[in-house]
Chain A
Amino acid sequence: MVSISEQLFDALGIMVLGMALVFIFLSFLILAMNLVAKKFAPKPQAVKSTQVAQQEVVNSSVSPLMTAVITAAIHQHRKKVL
């Protein structure tokens, strides 16, 4: 029969070893993920976003006048709430 304090000592060992292993493993994973991100992450696409913005303007079925009216209404409503 192993004494409790000896068992506790073993458990402490497993604790230190376990936490170290978990951290090392996940740190490796972080490194690997950063490497993959360097190669495969989508580039910040300024060109694309302006395209999307333009498309939105073209596709927008709400007329500029209507937009102005809605904006003003929202503005007033916010004022009321405050």
Chain B
Amino acid sequence: MEGLIAFWAESGIANFEGGQLLMMAVGCILLYLAIAKKFEPLLLLPIGFGAILANIPNGGFTDEGGLLYFAYYVGIETGIFPLLIFMGVGALTDFGALIANPKMLLLGAAAQFGIFATLLGAIALNWIPGFDFSMTDAAAIAIIGGADGPTAIFLASKLAPELLGAIAVAAYSYMALVPLIQPPIMRLLTTESERQIKMEQLREVSKTEKIIFPLMVLGLTILFLPAATPLVGMFCLGNLMRESGVVDRLSSTAQNELINIVTIFLGLAVGSKLSAEQFLQMETLGILVLGAVAFSIGTASGVLMAKLMSKLSGGKINPLLGAAGVSAVPMAARVVNKVGLESNNQNFLLMHAMGPNVAGVLGSAVAAGVLLAVLG
């Protein structure tokens, strides 16, 4: 009999708390979004499962010595996982479209306004009772507007680790929602005739240019923004491995096996931060709202910048391209292509949109570097 009581006292049913049940439900929602709706499944599936594991009473996954504890401690607290992912992203990225048309970097820069405007918004939210974001919290939330998962996780782990779970979930959910969030803003800010603008074909790019590019980006980062070198450095390493053509084995590992392995543990570790006491707060609600605002402002400022460039160039640039300036590679570029095709079914903007799209990755890494340098 005593054994039975001891068994009961250890069972899940006897130890459940309301918050844990609620967080398991959140985990299940994430699983549903990943499996049924195909929202960023590569990350939301492990994150959702991690959230369930982290809230098992007496499971001990997140206690010192538990699997999720170590995954978080080793990979995220140190910043290693997001950086390894960034190396993989570098190895996956072809900068050809950007090198052929360097002006597109300006769109990648303009879209980062979403980040800095949200910084202001997060602080302004402190007027509402129940919110108390410090400047570092606000910066970590604002980076959601960069639409770049690894960058957001990296910055949050450095500036506001206690908000990391909510920030990562918001960042990846909104990246999945790019096809819903962006088109209305793009249509609102452009005219039908602007959307129909066709663009000249991109010039060819030599291999030498592609090899020099990552080295050049690294060089500029070293000179002007050393705080961004962890992110930009790993990104450039991945890209150089890809473009140099002499280490195909390493490049292929970085963009396949390594990024996959790291993604599993990154997802689980982020999920472990979705414990009831950290997630069920007013702040989480604020973060979700601010994330959506950040995305929208980023899209809008990108489109407005593209409109300006279009005017200055005498109508050679399609303003829709600006929306691709938020990173979210390659989703944002695909959205641009789709909206462009709606206005003119012969106008394929995908290759042109890849330029500002990869520029957005660099832009948000630079913005993260600026925030780290100022607040870190």
Q: In chain A, residues 1-25, which have Cβ atoms closer than 8 Å to a Cβ of chain B?
A: 4, 7-8, 10-12, 14-15, 17-19, 21-25
Is the CB–CB distance between B113 and A33 below 8 Å? no
Is the CB–CB distance between A36 and B124 below 8 Å? no
Q: Which residue of B lies closest to A44 (CB)?
A: B203
Flag whether B154 is at the interface (Cβ < 8 A). no
Flag whether A26 is at the interface (Cβ < 8 A). yes
Is the CB–CB distance between A40 and B208 below 8 Å? yes
User: Which residues of chain A come closer than 8 Å to B224, judged between CB atoms?
Assistant: 21, 24-25, 28
User: Which residues of chain A come closer than 8 Å to B213, judged between CB atoms?
Assistant: 33, 36
Q: Which residue of A lies closest to B127 (CB)?
A: A4
Is the CB–CB distance between A14 and B205 below 8 Å? no
Interface of B, helix, strand, loop or mixed by DSSP: helix
User: Which residues of chain A come closer than 8 Å to B366, judged between CB atoms?
Assistant: 21-22, 25-26
User: Which residues of chain A come closer than 8 Å to B204, judged between CB atoms?
Assistant: 41-42
Which of B112, B123, B209, B216 is the one whose CB lies under 8 Å from A41?
A: B209
User: Which residues of chain B come closer than 8 Å to A70, judged between CB atoms?
Assistant: none
Q: In chain B, residues 130-146, which have Cβ atoms closer than 8 Å to a Cβ of chain A?
A: 135, 138-139
User: Which residues of chain B come closer than 8 Å to A7, judged between CB atoms?
Assistant: 123, 126, 135
Q: Which residue of A lies closest to B105 (CB)?
A: A26
For A24, A25, A28, A41, the residue with the greatest tally of chain B CB atoms inside 10 Å of its CB is A25
Is the CB–CB distance between B123 and A8 below 8 Å? yes
CB distance from A15 to the nearest CB of B (A): 4
Which of B102, B116, B139 is the one whose CB lies under 8 Å from A19?
A: B116
Number of interface residues of B (CB under 8 A): 44
Q: Which residue of A lies closest to B98 (CB)?
A: A33
User: Which residues of chain A come closer than 8 Å to B120, judged between CB atoms?
Assistant: 8, 11-12, 15
Is the CB–CB distance between B205 and A41 below 8 Å? yes
Number of interface residues of A (CB under 8 A): 29
State the CA gap A36–B99 with chains docked (Å). Answer: 10
Q: In chain A, residues 26-58, which have Cβ atoms closer than 8 Å to a Cβ of chain B?
A: 26-30, 32-34, 36-37, 40-42
Is the CB–CB distance between A14 and B367 below 8 Å? no
Contact of A15 with B116 at beta-carbon distance under 8 Å, contacts A21-B225, A36-B216, A40-B208 already known: yes
CB distance from B290 to the nearest CB of A (A): 13
Interface Cβ pair total, 8 Å cutoff = 111
Q: In chain B, residues 326-376, which have Cβ atoms closer than 8 Å to a Cβ of chain A?
A: 359, 362-363, 366-367, 370-371, 374-375
CB distance from A14 to the nearest CB of B (A): 6
Q: Which residue of B lies closest to A4 (CB)?
A: B126
Contact of A29 with B371 at beta-carbon distance under 8 Å, contacts A21-B225, A37-B102, A42-B204 already known: no
Contact of A11 with B216 at beta-carbon distance under 8 Å, contacts A25-B224, A42-B206 already known: no
User: Which residues of chain A come closer than 8 Å to B127, judged between CB atoms?
Assistant: 4
Contact of A40 with B123 at beta-carbon distance under 8 Å, contacts A26-B105, A33-B102 already known: no
Is the CB–CB distance between A18 and B116 below 8 Å? yes
Is the CB–CB distance between B109 and A23 below 8 Å? yes
Contact of A37 with B209 at beta-carbon distance under 8 Å, contacts A4-B123, A21-B225, A28-B224 already known: yes
Contact of A25 with B108 at beta-carbon distance under 8 Å, contacts A4-B123, A41-B206, A42-B206 already known: no
State the CA gap A14–B142 with chains docked (Å). Answer: 12
State the CA gap A34–B203 with chains docked (Å). Answer: 13
Is the CB–CB distance between B112 and A19 below 8 Å? yes
User: Which residues of chain A come closer than 8 Å to B216, judged between CB atoms?
Assistant: 29, 32-33, 36
Contact of A14 with B112 at beta-carbon distance under 8 Å, contacts A29-B105, A37-B209 already known: no
Is the CB–CB distance between B212 and A40 below 8 Å? yes
Contact of A14 with B220 at beta-carbon distance under 8 Å, contacts A4-B127, A41-B206 already known: no
Is the CB–CB distance between B102 and A11 below 8 Å? no
A-B contacts, 18 listed (Cβ < 8 Å)? A4-B124, A11-B135, A14-B135, A14-B139, A14-B371, A15-B119, A15-B120, A18-B367, A19-B109, A19-B116, A21-B370, A22-B370, A25-B366, A26-B362, A33-B105, A33-B213, A41-B204, A41-B209
Q: 10 more A-B contacts (CB under 8 A) besides A7-B135, A18-B367, A26-B108?
A: A10-B135, A14-B119, A14-B139, A17-B370, A22-B109, A29-B216, A32-B220, A37-B99, A40-B208, A42-B203
Sorted from nearest, which 7 A-B pairs have the closest CB atoms? A15-B116, A33-B102, A26-B105, A40-B208, A30-B102, A26-B109, A18-B370
